[in-house]
Chain A
């Protein structure tokens, strides 16, 4: 029987090798940062604010300090002025590390719900938690602005918030839209979402003289090291970050958060190692989140299905102090051939924590809006939605006329449609039924920019026939250990079980953040060159037996090292790499080409004719992303992405209380994500594609591709089932019941 988890490789795909760390993970052998035993730790528990805006007027720790086993309760009185204002990752001018410039424990100021206001340290976790519950805080509260549409917001153009932002446009979209016969003009909204990786946020800090070791699940071990050094004002050379296994991240462990410097300083103050594991509820404010968005999408098309105008206006929320937003019009303005395109992104500042990266941060909300509108436009002109997309498919992006390095969008549509049985769909809503259930089919496009960053790798071949690959890149659960072992084995001509890969430790050569789906392309490029360097140092460029070469040269081992940048990228990126900054580039940002991965998703929903609950019996996704290093781990990434997309379509929403700007449903019973029984048939088709322009191996990356478009495909299917267009996520019973 075919093993669906291990798809057989097609052209330009590696072998479906099982994860090299799989057995360690399922047997508990993989040590996640909070699992690592540290000597004599003080256990931390946070006290967080219960208002979103105002001042702490008094914080009384006396009762807490009297409990047995309490070591200290640290507030802003202790740490004020001791932690430098963080620099924003990806901020103007480059070199930043943080997800927010918020400075808890600096002053009495409260800027968002759940802000850290004290750290309790105790001999046990339970004692710390008990004490945290009785720290008495009184506030001088001010009325906060909670969300889009609230009073007191500051509204700015994205171009004002971030000078480097451009609103892509071409032609005269307003005029074309006005003159068009067939058009739609709709508003779509997406909610607040939280990553909720199963592994909680944790940090353990151990000082040894001036040297600090930090155990923390991080998507960027070097970013954490340099970010922490900046905040503490110490030499980064004295900091070591260890982050070997990460239990899911999805962006939430990408930028340094407020907790790390606080824990480091607390460990120094108490002269003891400190271990902090943040609760699920407090985790909703410990890192970032996907902020709510509103979109106006206006499309016009000719009767025979050619787009004549595309207008996409995005409205996003961010914090009062930081410039983070996603600006997904970069992607949506370049998906389809269209002579007249107008985009605009507007930013709303509210009394909320700074939002941040969450799986395909820009593409998930913006493509949901565009792909929902594409379905509405296709219906308006009576055209099959797949054919409508085929009519507007292009190998050249319409804004600057740059060529796609490769684009297999319609191949994805055709392979997925065939497997799904799209030809059996009744395009008229409400006409397909299965007993008491209405059945609907929908589809949508997935896309994700192909991004790369500088990376460095050392590979060492030893006389016993084994090899060691060393790089500080992280495996956030995606399979980085496995594909690096595969590539090294292939390049050195040895079996994969002879390769050891070391990751997630700043003692290793620096690698970029595990974000933007760049690591496979970036690190494999460096590993390939490191292997070539090793072989050429042994004088063996033509392959053959490396052991024999070593023996001949009377050597016990030979290493190869490489620091690489993306084709055409400036070498200066390597200097940034050594400062913990990932100079990520690609997608629609390059001057000579445009590079994206694509996919197509088809979804069947059932909606109960009386009670309106929505179930999803079938999902089919086909994806093309250049060279597939490992069809098994790739499928798993795309599977997880589509399940995440299913969650965003039907379940996920963080409720923000309008009066208080507070999150209400901060637990996994009330913040719902799909469970096994929500996912019935889910098929991933890996579409063969070769791209010779992006990097020597032709890797595009696909970690974030699978979640893009799912919500639109579900929404379009719900319309096909019920005849109701719900233009707001998640789509729930409330939206459908009369």
Chain B
């Protein structure tokens, strides 16, 4: 681990100011990948500290933003008839255990409960969670020289290597690293927006615009600028939210990343699906909302046959390797199982 300096921010504006001042005096150049910048905010540290020990990330300066959630104006969860607002500085367990979430947004609660371990959920914030980096072994182990995400232009060892856990949607010839998150899938499915604060201004973007697909520059993972912080996630209160689940498939029963997962919400009335909201985990390079699958279900009867059509639609652009080919069928079955389960929910 490279020695680093550490400072603590007390408020959001303090954090933005510290970040932008430190970045201005660092060697960072605009357009570089934010997550490799020499200045990094740190919250729970459950991902960043790991990657620093592995020498995958080498920030020289850390700005601790853990104090921010103690500010009186920051509330972990607030909701009204139109919106659910989650503070990005809240911990995963705070959100997972919130009564409103448990009652009205079961998908969100489940996507957090099924992730990591209780100890990690107590430390990790949801803002950090949606920015967590891939578990691709070639990215995390610097003794493998090839990784376009870690060292741009070096090549991708994963495509011909051990790719069992890696992505089949949104891949490129330069990277097939999976976005590892669960909670991100619920944000993608529920059409969240993200409020971002920089030194000078706040902006709000759709969640779907936050992450960038690898393309030819897999080192650039989000549209965030290095002085920016995610402040909140805003989820529109829609009729499908209550009829929603997060189904996660993995080799062991707990404490494992998803091989496949499905975040599914249905608005069913009079025996017809008025609207569907679907995101798929474990299979995409970014949180993967499947508008194709949603459209395949719109105004359709919730039955096996239509679920199968939706599953086919969801994976029609999939590209597999020899080792992760099983994810194609598994991903479809996961979605069918989730749709079946959610359609049968008593609400």
Q: List B contacts of A655 (CB < 8 A).
A: 162, 164
Q: List A contacts of B1 (CB < 8 A).
A: 126, 129-130
Assess whether A664 is in contact with B161, with CB atoms less than 8 Å apart: yes
Assess whether A669 is in contact with B253, with CB atoms less than 8 Å apart: no
Contact pick for A675, options B143, B144, B252, CB 8 Å:
B252
A133-B254 CB under 8 A given contacts A733-B326, A734-B164: no
Assess whether A678 is in contact with B252, with CB atoms less than 8 Å apart: yes
Binds A, one of B90-98, B226-234, B330-338: B330-338
Contact with A along B44-73 (1 / 0, CB 8 A): 000000000101000000000000000000
A672-B137 CB under 8 A given contacts A612-B330, A657-B161: no
Q: List B contacts of A612 (CB < 8 A).
A: 330, 333
Contact pick for A737, options B135, B140, B254, B333, CB 8 Å:
B333
Closest to B137 in A: A664
CA distance A322 to B261 in the complex (A): 45
A733-B143 CB under 8 A given contacts A655-B162, A669-B135: no
CA distance A50 to B53 in the complex (A): 18
CA distance A657 to B160 in the complex (A): 9
| Closest chain A CB from B326 CB (angstroms) | 4
CA distance A133 to B54 in the complex (A): 9
Contact pick for A665, options B162, B250, B329, B337, CB 8 Å:
B162
A677 within 8 A of B: yes
| Closest chain B CB from A618 CB (angstroms) | 14
CA distance A20 to B335 in the complex (A): 52
Q: List A contacts of B259 (CB < 8 A).
A: 733
B249 within 8 A of A: yes
A610-B333 CB under 8 A given contacts A133-B142, A664-B161: yes
B205 within 8 A of A: no
B256 within 8 A of A: yes
A674-B252 CB under 8 A given contacts A50-B143, A612-B330: yes
Q: List B contacts of A281 (CB < 8 A).
A: 141
Contact with B along A427-460 (1 / 0, CB 8 A): 0000000001000000000000000000000000
Assess whether A675 is in contact with B253, with CB atoms less than 8 Å apart: yes
Contact with A along B242-263 (1 / 0, CB 8 A): 0000000111111111011000
Assess whether B251 is in contact with A650, with CB atoms less than 8 Å apart: yes
Q: List A contacts of B254 (CB < 8 A).
A: 675-678
A611-B251 CB under 8 A given contacts A48-B143, A669-B257: no
Q: Is the interface of A mostly helix, strand, loop or mixed?
A: loop
Contact pick for B162, options A611, A657, A667, A734, CB 8 Å:
A657
Assess whether B160 is in contact with A659, with CB atoms less than 8 Å apart: yes
Q: List A contacts of B144 (CB < 8 A).
A: 50, 662
A670-B329 CB under 8 A given contacts A50-B144, A611-B337, A733-B251: no
User: B residues 185-233 with Cβ under 8 Å of A?
Assistant: none
B2 within 8 A of A: yes
A306 within 8 A of B: no
Counting chain A residues whose Cβ lies within 8 A of the other chain, the interface size class is: 35 or more
B78 within 8 A of A: no
Q: List A contacts of B83 (CB < 8 A).
A: none
Assess whether B251 is in contact with A651, with CB atoms less than 8 Å apart: yes
CA distance A677 to B135 in the complex (A): 22
Contact pick for B329, options A129, A608, A737, CB 8 Å:
A737
| Closest chain A CB from B323 CB (angstroms) | 8
CA distance A675 to B252 in the complex (A): 7
Q: List A contacts of B162 (CB < 8 A).
A: 655, 657, 664-665
Assess whether B256 is in contact with A672, with CB atoms less than 8 Å apart: yes
Q: List B contacts of A613 (CB < 8 A).
A: 249-251
CA distance A234 to B75 in the complex (A): 67
Assess whether B141 is in contact with A610, with CB atoms less than 8 Å apart: no
CA distance A674 to B137 in the complex (A): 20
Q: List B contacts of A425 (CB < 8 A).
A: none
Q: List B contacts of A662 (CB < 8 A).
A: 144
| Closest chain A CB from B205 CB (angstroms) | 31
User: B residues 1-34 with Cβ under 8 Å of A?
Assistant: 1-3
A578 within 8 A of B: no
Q: List A contacts of B326 (CB < 8 A).
A: 733-734, 737
User: B residues 253-292 with Cβ under 8 Å of A?
Assistant: 253-257, 259-260
Q: List A contacts of B165 (CB < 8 A).
A: 670
CA distance A659 to B155 in the complex (A): 15
B154 within 8 A of A: no
